[in-house]
Each structure stands twice: as structure tokens, then as C-alpha cells.
Chain A
């Protein structure tokens, strides 16, 4: 791939690979050194230390996940990066500039945990407003707004005030405003919160697409599955301290187990395989039908329902994947 010898592959995979290449460049977009944050009361007395001597780098082009239970300091860290909170000590540089430098925001997009947008504006006005904050010209704003509204699927609701939007729609317009300036660095706080599985999938696709475009994405999320799906690296915080930092695939790899996936096997075939495994002193092997995850089931059901309105699917159909479905008929070792 690197030498360009790879034949035609889907754009999706191509983009992802390009993204991986960028990750490998190891250029730090965010540098955090010994960052601490202590919340104090009115009298200056210490209430809680939300972040303790945090040091980490986020590289250009990667999707980085900040994980941790509630109160672990991940949102505080993100808000310090954005200049919403001031660190008690330590240093942060974003895109080569101090976190307190407002000009860094020109290349940053931020989607807050909830979309705290102005509810009396409609989608067009919202994007126009945020575009003006980036000093974009009227024509540029209009073009960009059209693209983004189309992208987040709000074309039919662009004239409605945001107060009439559902939570999912609000997240979408929130995402659109975060991308109005075509940012280099995107910070997403709980990006899939409030989204239905389709929206979640679209959001994840979008994150991967951003990555493919060479953008750096940092996300906080409690949805570990989502994080696993899209993140290259993660950091796990607990009570303000960094506990785990590394590549997702490396961290999740179970080094002393193997998994083989085939089409459905007969009992004889299973017996033969077990004999082979026994011959090689493999213990603790098990044979079972693999299960699709609920997200996959949901997406398929929605897709089928759209194609065949009024029809209800039986468990058998779902399990065997009849019709034009891609069945889940396989065995997992």
C-alpha cells in the first residue's frame, strides 16, 4: 500500500489506510504535560482534584478516545484543551499553540456533550452564525452550510428552529456546526449520545471519514463499543489519573487465544477438527454458533422494514438470514 502497489480498493478502506499512514507520522497535534486541575470553592479551598499530572500526546490523523467512568476527568481535560477551564498547573499545546490562545480555535471543531446551540435559530442561521465567527465570507458560509446540512441529513428541516428538533437532529446540527470551518482537529464529547443506532452508525462512519481526510479526532464516550469501532488509540482515566494509554487493537488483543471463523460445520467436521487440536495439545477449545451484535440486528431489521413494509420477521429468518439477507450462518471456534 505504501508503495502504491495496491490495486483498486474501496475508497473506504483506502481512506482508512491513508489515515493509518498519517498516524504513523507521529506528529503531535496535542501535547499535554503534567496537567492538573483542582476545583476550589469560593474561599479558594480545594474541593476536588479532577485531573492529576496528566501527560499524553495525540498524533495527527488518529482517532483518539478518552475513556473513563463519570468523574474521571475526561470532560475536564477536554474543556481545558478548549480553554473553557484553566489548568491549575501543567502545559497544553494544541496545533502548536498554547491552549489559552484563541487563534488555535480557527482549526478546531467542537461538538459539546449536548448540543448547546441557540434554540431560536434554524439550521441555516445556526451554521451562518458559526461561519461568521470564523470570518468566512457569505458565499463561503452558504456553500459550506449546504454541504453540511446535506451531510447530516437535515435538508428538510433546515428552516425549522432548533427548539423543534429531536435530540438526534440536534446532535446532527451540532456536528455540522463543529465542522463548519473544515477543522484539522475535531473534539467530540459523547458524539453518539442521544443518537439511534442508525445515527450512531452514521456518526461512526463520519468519524472514520474525517480520519480518512487526515483530520485528528478526539472523542470522549461511555459507549465503549463505539470507541472500539473507531478509535486508533485510547486513554483510560480514573479519578483524574491516566491508567491506560495505547492502541486499541494492541490493548484488546488476547495473546494466548486464537479464533477461527468458517461457514457452518457438520458434526463430523467438528470431531475431526477437535482431533487435530487434541493432537497439537490444544485444550479449552469450544465450538459454537457466532452471534450477530444487536446493532447489526437492528440495522438489518430497519433496512428490511424499509424494503418490505408491513412484514414481521421471525427469529428463524433473522438467525438464518433468509431472503437477500447476509445470514449469520457461520461457526466460531
Chain B
């Protein structure tokens, strides 16, 4: 199941496909020419040219009527040879499956899962052998029985025979699949227990990207490993600064179900102490926090480098002037002692600058434009990134470090000059949601509903910004000051503000009056102003942090925000998860939290799963027919089955070997190590020359494997849709359906060309 439904890169895939197919066609033509010359001498060249011309001419004169004639013949052949008996097997399986599947699990979603899995797998695995045998035996039997003679001696092009055969077997396959699909659907609906039927739905998830914040508050790609065998799930420590950070994109009001945003999660609980019985029963406590932290998103990347971490902290705290000083110091160090700075710190600088450049563009709004700063960071990144080319960097000498330092200075100057603006327009807003519990046994509801209008107790910065915004607005409207003092009607004015309670309004009036009297505020031109020229937010932020504005209500400063207007930036929504219990851990992987969009009916996902299964079976037909144009029936069956098994179960493994990500050595070297009873870390017990020789052969075999991995289809692509439906998800078009369609056509087209050529240039009656 793919949790990364990024839009299918059709253009990229297509260009890659063109290159591979081009290489294959070029190679095939070259090989054919060589063979023709080897067998016939100089006359091989005109023979090759005539053959190629004839092949292309055949391609240009294909007749749909002839293709459909062969399609119809193939269909009749399959039907009259009792291929449809497969329905009987399916019916028998369905008749008795109910005995074993009903009440197979106490959890409703797992019961649904078992039934759906059974039907989808049964359909695929029942049709598959029938399809392989039909498609692999059709043409060889035609040749063996010489029925083919009566066809190829008609004007039927051999390409038409191939296409007709593929279409015919494909039609049988689709017919069987559709009938089985409908029967299976009805069976699931009727067989599944009454109380589980609500689980027959297609959840539509929006998965985010997962990062972590460690216990020191610094960003990290992973959390803590508590010793799980599987590394994909990381844990956050309870009662610490550690958090899991999910960043969701494209979050719009369309995601609402009614007036709420549904968050579905399934975290793992891990305890270092057993805890009380109550604790075990209730589970470990966690909390979601909706965060809009422009400063962290823009500058958090600098924390990855030790030299820039302090600067990153200052930037995230909004202390832009201090951060600028730090950056200046760092620039000076780069300028004077560039070699003292370790490479990872330069990488951190480059990575931070790149992240800042991108994130700042997203922050652009009507009120503020970050383009200039974004460009400065981009320049810094471009310059620093030159260091990655070590040769060029060495050639450039100290000039390159001078350039980097200059770019740092430019950024620092901008930060210092525009510190107030940046602080005003780069807020940090945190909205904690009610806590939840996670048990080891995953009992209870995993869905949290988040209202669009969120009422929450404001933290310091949020309160400061709220008050600054409110007072600024009222002040601009002339409702704060009357004469040289606070207006007597100010309290009534505040009472009109829904989010300020009467007690807090009185407190605000008192504090403002005191500040005016103390000289921190002054009245100028009938308006209230901060005496030292600061803006309203720093002024109120200071008051809040000095705890002069502690809420007089027991509930605190209750503010209301709009989920989409106030908490998302350009469609990005950040959700942080923390564990609240000490010595406990919450484990999570990327798919463990998602936004659940309005559900779709079950048949939608089911149909998509059947469709991709159909594409898989059609590809098997295509491969079967293609191989049967070259070899005899039994060999063709073996070949097709092998391609399917390798493509279905070992494609990923093959790619890992080719890319060097799989542990172990090359083919010969591994075999020799087994023979010598030695392990890979020790290496081969042979001379250096022998080792190099063996490695040379292994590199050839790995290259061959790389070629094979391009030729054998990745059949697991087609299973992705069924995996989604089995787990109760809708099938994303981008992640499952389009890749399946593309994979089918990507292999079908060269297979048809190859099969047509093989059949055309094959003697049908050789002795």
C-alpha cells in the first residue's frame, strides 16, 4: 500500500520509457542485422532492409476487422474449451468459504478485511493460472495443429494475429473477472455480519509527511527506536519536548465532514514501566497540537548543523537581531578559518538556506512579501552548495568561502533591518486539542474530530498577538484614547469584543492605564502609542511574559480561531503529536495519522481494485502471448509464470541488489564465500587479482540483472489497489490506478511489437 499519493509523473515516466524502449528496439535491430549478415553474408543487409520494410508496412496496414475476427475466434475457442468452468470453482469456494470466514475476528474492520481479502485474492489467483495457460498455449497449439497455416495464408498480418489473440484472451479474462467481481461484491455484502457492514466503506486518507522533534527540541528524521524489529516506526518519549510532526498539504474546507476535520490515528504504545492496572486499562495519554509556526518551518533547517543551531534557536524564538549577530559571527569564521568548520556544518547551512528559501515563498501573503529574503537565502544556498563539488571548490580556493561569508552577511543585514516586520508576519500559533489515550490492544475509537472553529486557551505569543491586533484596531478606530488618557468608554468597547471576557476587559483597562501612567505608553495625535517606538506585538508580548495579563477567568484567555484561515498556510497544516506520560512512549510511522476525508462508497474502491487486477491479468495475457510467439506452450507457461513470480515478489529485491542497497556481495563472490564458509565482512580467501577478476564478472552479472529488472514488470504495482481496499481505504488514482494503467501500456506496446516481429520472422513449418 502506497502512502505517498503524489501525482503520477506521466511525463517523466514516459520519457524514461521512451529511452528504454528505444534502447531495446535499437539493440534488437542491431542484433537482427548482425545475424542476417552472419548467416547470409553481404546479402544479409538487403534481406534485413526488406524484412524491416515489410514489418513496418504490415504495421501500417493493420485491419480492425481481421483483428476482431481473430479476437472472436479466440473468445469462442476459450468458451468452447470450457475455460468458463472456472466459475464453478469460484462458486464452490464461495459456497463453503462462509463457514470459515464468518466471525473470524472480533474486530469489525478485520472481519470486513478478511472477507474482502478472500474475494479479491480468490478472483486474482483463480483467474491467473487459467489466463497463463490459455494465453501461452493458444498460438503454439495453432502452430502445432497447423490451424495457423489456414490463417497466415490469408491476408492476415501476423501482427493482427498477435493483437487478435491478445484481445481475445483479454476479453475472456475481463468477462470472467467482471462476473466474478459482481458475484464477489454481492457475496461480501450478504456474507458479512450485520454489525460489520458499516465498515464496508472506502476511507479517503490524506497522508502527511512525518518528521520528529527530539527531546532537545531539535528536528530529526526519526524518533527513538525502542527495539522493534521493524525500523519504520519511531517513538516519541513521554513528558518531554519530543514530538512527532506531521505536515499535511492541500488541506482545504473540502476535507471537512460536516463541520469537522477528522483525524484518524493508530499509534503504538510502549511502556518502560508496567504502571497501574488503571493505567494499563486506560492506556497511554497523548495529545495533538495544531501548529502554525512560520519561523520554525522557515528556519528549522539550520538546526541540523551544529554551528548554526544556536542561530536557528534564536530565529525560531523571533529574536531576529540576535540571530543576525550570530550569523555575522559565523560568516566571520567562514571568512577567516573556513577549514575549522566541519563539512556537516556547511551542509547544515546549505540545507537550512534551501529550506528557508522555499518556505518563505509559501509564506507570502497580502500583508507581507518574503521574496527578497527568500532570494537571499537561495543565493546563500547556491553559493554554499558549490562546496559539494570538491574539485571545483578546491580550485576556487578561499574565494568560495569569501562568497559564502558575503551571502551570510547579506542575510544577516536583512534580518537586522527587517526584524520587526519579520516578527509581525512570522507568527507561532499552537492549538492543543483534547488529550487521547492509546492502548496496546488498539481498543476504542481512533478518530478525533476537530471543529473548524477552534476555541482554545491562548499561549503567550498568541495572546500577545491577539491583544496587539485588537488594541491596534480599536486604537486606529479612535476608541481607546480620549484626551490624554484611556477613554471611559473603553471598557464598553472591549465588552463588544466577543473573545474578551468582562473580567479580562477590566484587567486590560487597568494594565493599559498603568502603562500609560508609567510612561511606557503615550498619547500622540489622539492615539495611543508605545513610548519607546516599539510595535504593539513586542509591547504586549513583554506584558504577557511579565505575567501582567494573566487571565482573570478560570478558563484563561479563550480565543476562537478558524482552522483553515488561521492555522493553515497555503494549504499546509501542521499537526504535532506528543506523549504526555512519563516513561512511556508513543510509536508512529507515516501512515499512522491521516486526515480522513468524506468516505466513498465501498463499490468505488472495490471497482478500482478489480480494474487494476484486470490490468495485471491483461499484462499476463500480453506476456503469455508474446512468449508463445517465440517458444512452445510448456516453455511459454514456464517463462510467463517465472516473470510473474519474479515481478510480483522479487522485483523490489532485484532493484535493491542492482542499486547496492541489499546486503551481500556479487553472484560469484557470494557463491565462493559460501563454498569457503566465510562471511561477507571477511571477504574472499583469494589473491587480489582473483578477487578483482571475480568482482569484474559480478559487475557484469549485476549489469545483466539491471537490464532484467527493466524488462520484468513490477507486478506488485497492480496489487496496491487491492491492498488499499482490503484495509478499508479508497484507491488513490495517482498512487495506484494510473501507475497500473501506465505499467500495463508500457509493457504492452513493446510486447506487441516484439511478438509481431517474432511471429512474422518465424518459420511456421520448420522440420
Docked-complex contact B66 and A135, CB < 8 angstroms: yes
DSSP majority for the B interface?
A: helix
> Which has the most chain B C-beta neighbours within 10 Å: A85, A177, A181?
A85
> Closest chain B residue to A137 by CB distance?
B65
Which residue in A85, A86, A105, A125 is a CB contact (below 8 Å) of B155? A105
25 contacts between A and B (CB under 8 A): A39-B766, A39-B767, A79-B765, A83-B153, A84-B152, A84-B764, A85-B763, A100-B54, A105-B156, A108-B153, A110-B153, A112-B146, A116-B145, A117-B147, A121-B73, A121-B76, A129-B69, A129-B72, A130-B154, A132-B69, A132-B72, A133-B69, A133-B151, A133-B155, A134-B154
Residues of A within 8 A of B (CB): 39, 44, 47-48, 50, 79, 82-86, 100-103, 105-106, 108, 110, 112, 114, 116-118, 120-121, 125, 129-130, 132-135, 161, 177, 181
**Interface: B39 (CB within 8 A):** yes
**Interface: B295 (CB within 8 A):** no
Residues of B within 8 A of A (CB): 39, 50, 54, 58, 61, 63, 65-66, 68-69, 72-73, 76-77, 80-81, 145-157, 763-767
Q: Which residues on the A side are within 8 Å of B766 (C-beta)? A: 39, 85
Docked-complex contact A135 and B763, CB < 8 angstroms: no
Q: Which residues on the A side are within 8 Å of B80 (C-beta)? A: 120, 161
Docked-complex contact A101 and B54, CB < 8 angstroms: yes
> Closest chain B residue to A44 by CB distance?
B39
Measured CB to CB, the closest approach of chain B to A38, in angstroms, equals 11
> Closest chain B residue to A109 by CB distance?
B153
In Å, the complex CA distance between A130 and B149 comes to 12
Which residue in B50, B66, B77 is a CB contact (below 8 Å) of A132? B66
In Å, the complex CA distance between A80 and B88 comes to 46
In Å, the complex CA distance between A44 and B40 comes to 12
In Å, the complex CA distance between A110 and B150 comes to 7
In Å, the complex CA distance between A13 and B150 comes to 33
Q: Which residues on the A side are within 8 Å of B68 (C-beta)? A: 132
> Closest chain A residue to B68 by CB distance?
A132
Docked-complex contact B146 and A116, CB < 8 angstroms: yes
Which residue in B150, B156, B763 is a CB contact (below 8 Å) of A112? B150
Q: Which residues on the B side are within 8 Å of A83 (C-beta)? A: 152-153
Q: Which residues on the B side are within 8 Å of A130 (C-beta)? A: 150, 154
Q: Which residues on the B side are within 8 Å of A102 (C-beta)? A: 58, 155-157
Q: Which residues on the B side are within 8 Å of A106 (C-beta)? A: 155
Other A-B pairs, 18, CB within 8 Å; known A82-B153, A85-B766, A116-B146: A50-B767, A82-B149, A84-B153, A85-B763, A85-B765, A102-B58, A103-B155, A105-B156, A106-B155, A110-B149, A116-B148, A118-B147, A129-B73, A130-B150, A130-B154, A132-B69, A133-B156, A135-B65
Docked-complex contact B73 and A84, CB < 8 angstroms: no
> Closest chain A residue to B79 by CB distance?
A120
Measured CB to CB, the closest approach of chain A to B67, in angstroms, equals 10
> Which has the most chain A C-beta neighbours within 10 Å: B76, B81, B150, B153?
B153
> Closest chain A residue to B147 by CB distance?
A116
Q: Which residues on the B side are within 8 Å of A118 (C-beta)? A: 73, 77, 147
Measured CB to CB, the closest approach of chain A to B162, in angstroms, equals 14
In Å, the complex CA distance between A117 and B150 comes to 7
Docked-complex contact A105 and B154, CB < 8 angstroms: yes
Q: Which residues on the A side are within 8 Å of B154 (C-beta)? A: 105, 130, 133-134, 181
> Which has the most chain B C-beta neighbours within 10 Å: A84, A112, A133, A135?
A133
* Closest CB pairs A-B (n = 6): A132-B69, A116-B146, A133-B154, A120-B80, A110-B153, A105-B155
